[in-house]
Amino acid sequence: MSSTHRGAERRPADFYATPAFCVKRLLEALELPGGLWFEPCAGDGAIIKAVNEVRDDVSWHAHELREECVPALASIQRVGHIEVGDLLARPVATMPKASVCISNYPFGVSKEILEHLLHGDFEYLITLQRVNWCAGPRAALFRDLKPSLYVLPNRPSFTGGSTDSIEYGWFLFSGEGKLQVLADTPLRERQGK
């Protein structure tokens, strides 16, 4: 969901893999239950792999729009089920009952995905988005939902190059309305070294 290079050609399906450090900072700050977790916009499994690096009590149900991502997802430990298709066309009743639903939604359809997933059966519904995601056309929705926001103090790079041009955070839809700035990440870790 990179905001860098506005006006440049977007990646197919708005795919921007989530850097592992973004996931790790969230998991340090938020105590989440184990069990079945759902990744509704799984891509190549970046979030799943990052969680698996620090948690061994999580199994996965992955959903992805693009068929070409299935081999990568199938190669990841503890991914028990993979589905391919348009998440927004999927009936909510067919989504797994999961303790955690965590993702980095494609920005162009992020509001629609959130509204769809809000009807699912998840104890925790979490997404990584731009901090300013809660304004503009989503402002009324956010006033009602009162999500908690866990801000990343270090800008991520979703393209493998320089960092993005805006701040990001994890939105947790639990009705608490809490704001927390997560721990800094050393440059070497942000660069994947």
Domain boundaries, the chain: 15-190
pLDDT band at 33 (very low <50, low <70, confident <90, very high): very high
Q: To which CATH superfamily is domain 15-190 assigned? A: Vaccinia Virus protein VP39 (3.40.50.150)
Stronger pLDDT, 46 or 13, i.e. the higher one: 46
Tokens 């070409």 belong to: 68
**pLDDT for the residue numbered 15:** 64
**pLDDT for the residue numbered 136:** 84
**pLDDT for the residue numbered 42:** 97
Which is it for strands 122-130 and 148-151: parallel, antiparallel or unpaired?
unpaired
| Residues 108 and 41 sit within 8 Å (Cβ to Cβ) | no
* 183 phi and psi angles, rounded to 5 deg: -65, 150
Return the minimum-mean-pLDDT range out of 24-28, 84-88, 163-167: 163-167
pLDDT beyond 60 at 59: yes
| Residues 38 and 99 sit within 8 Å (Cβ to Cβ) | no
Dihedral, CA atoms, 128, 154, 24, 161, nearest 10 degrees? 80
**pLDDT for the residue numbered 88:** 96
For residue 161 the two structure tokens come to 């190059």
Percent of the chain at pLDDT > 90 equals 59
pLDDT band at 164 (very low <50, low <70, confident <90, very high): low
What is the C-alpha separation between 2 and 85, in angstroms, rounded? 23
Q: Running DSSP on this structure, what letter comes out for residue 60?
A: E
The per-residue pLDDT of the chain, averaged, comes to 88
**pLDDT for the residue numbered 4:** 46
Determine the average pLDDT of the residues in 52-66: 97
pLDDT beyond 50 at 25: yes
**pLDDT for the residue numbered 94:** 93
What is the C-alpha separation between 112 and 73, in angstroms, rounded? 24
Residues 73-88 as b or e (16 or more Cβ within 10 Å = b): beebeebeebbeeebe
> Across the strands, what pairs with 127?
103, 171
**pLDDT for the residue numbered 102:** 98
Stronger pLDDT, 160 or 154, i.e. the higher one: 154
> Across the strands, what pairs with 59?
36
pLDDT beyond 90 at 62: yes
**pLDDT for the residue numbered 153:** 83
**pLDDT for the residue numbered 160:** 66
pLDDT band at 192 (very low <50, low <70, confident <90, very high): confident
- Return the closest-CA partner of residue 141 out of 166, 159, 165, 115: 115
What Cα–Cα distance (Å) separates residue 132 from each residue in 136, 139, 166, 187? Answer: 8, 10, 9, 24
